[in-house]
Each structure stands twice: as C-alpha cells, then as structure tokens.
Amino acid sequence: GRVLSMGHSYVGKISSANHKDKYKTILSRLPLEDTGEIPLKGVGWNPASAVKAAIRKDGIPITFYSLHICGSKKDKGHAYYLATEVLPKEKSERVIVAGDFNNRIGDDSLNFLEGSGMRPTWKDLKIELSWQFTYNAFAPEKQVGVIDHIFYNASSGAKATDGDIIELKKPLSDHKPIWAEIAFPREIGPDGLGN
C-alpha cells in the first residue's frame, strides 16, 4: 500500500480454495472502519470469502467488499450467496463490490447480483467487453474474457464516470488490473436515489 500512498489496509484470513497466499485485501488512503471477512457458500472450489471495510469521505460512509469467488451457473455459487444472503443485510447506503468473480457479465450468477440491485461499472462506461479479457494476462491465447468486475448499489444514485482495464506491457499478475471512478451523490432521496 505504501507504493500507492495507501496507508490503511485490511487483509482477510481465508485463502481462496486454500491456495497459498490468495487472501483478499482492501487498501485505502482513508482510515478503515467496520472491517471483517464474510465466508461465502457455494458449489465449486472452497473456501471463498469477501473482505469488507468502510471509509468516510467528507463524512459520507462508503462500504467496500473485495472478493475472489468460483465461477458458477444459476443459483449454486458464491455470487448467488452474496446477492441473496450478504448484500440484503448490508446497512450502508453506498456499497462497492469488486474482485475476481470468475464469471462474465450476462452469466446467470452475475445476473442474480444485478437483480439484487448492484450495477457493473462497465454498463455506465459503455465499454464493449466481448473482445476484451482480464484473464489470462500471462497467456493471452488462453484468455477467458472479462471476469473481474466492480459493482455499486444502484439505489445510491451513483454512476461510474471513468474506468477501464489496465493493459501492462509486463503483467504483474495473471489478471489485468481494472479500475473505476464512481460518483456518489451527497444525499440519497426518499426514493432511494441520489439527489
């Protein structure tokens, strides 16, 4: 985090699929509150989890989830559990969920997430994903499409204003980094939308 001037971090303790050093992390320039890790249930490799932390930007709380989950179909996977068991209990009015979902936008499991009120930043940015990929950066001939995503809760009235897939000449990981700038309104109206 120091290289990016992010002096605050939270690292989970559940390593994805029990692999060595596959822990989820949240880095921040602002102090973190309400940190924790939520085990996610589903078919496929396990264990899986999401780490959670909140920040306050100009006094406004924003909750972040960072995850690495198994790809799945229909209502059997970690994304479905997140959409139906975890996020409905979230009390924050401004939520961002980001990570390696191992599924593409339009897959059943991510449709459940969208159906729960989460919106992928790609849709606001109108980025065509069909010919792009985030995995496998080390072996592009074995790419599987864009499986890394950033979502925010649409009820907040937020909108992604910028973002993309970062193309590096020398990849640092088997996944390409992604980023998004999300603008949240200061106030959320009685209709659940930003004002």
> How high is the pLDDT of residue 190?
67
d(CA 179, CA 183): 13
Domains parsed from the chain with CATH numbers: 8-183 (3.60.10.10)
Over residues 48-63, the pLDDT tens digits come to: 999 999 999 999 999 9
The whole-angstrom distance between residue 195's C-alpha and the CA centroid of its chain comes to 25
Identify the three-state secondary structure at position 166: coil
Say whether pTM exceeds 0.85. Answer: yes
Residue with tokens 């649409």: 154
Residue numbers in the chain where pLDDT is lower than 70? 1, 189-195
Residue for token pair 């700038």 = 181
Q: What is the pLDDT of residues 63-103, one digit of tens each?
A: 999 999 999 988 999 999 999 999 999 999 999 999 999 99
Pairwise CA distance, residues 194 & 185, whole Å: 5
Who contacts 59 (Cβ-Cβ below 8 Å, separation ≥6)?
Answer: none
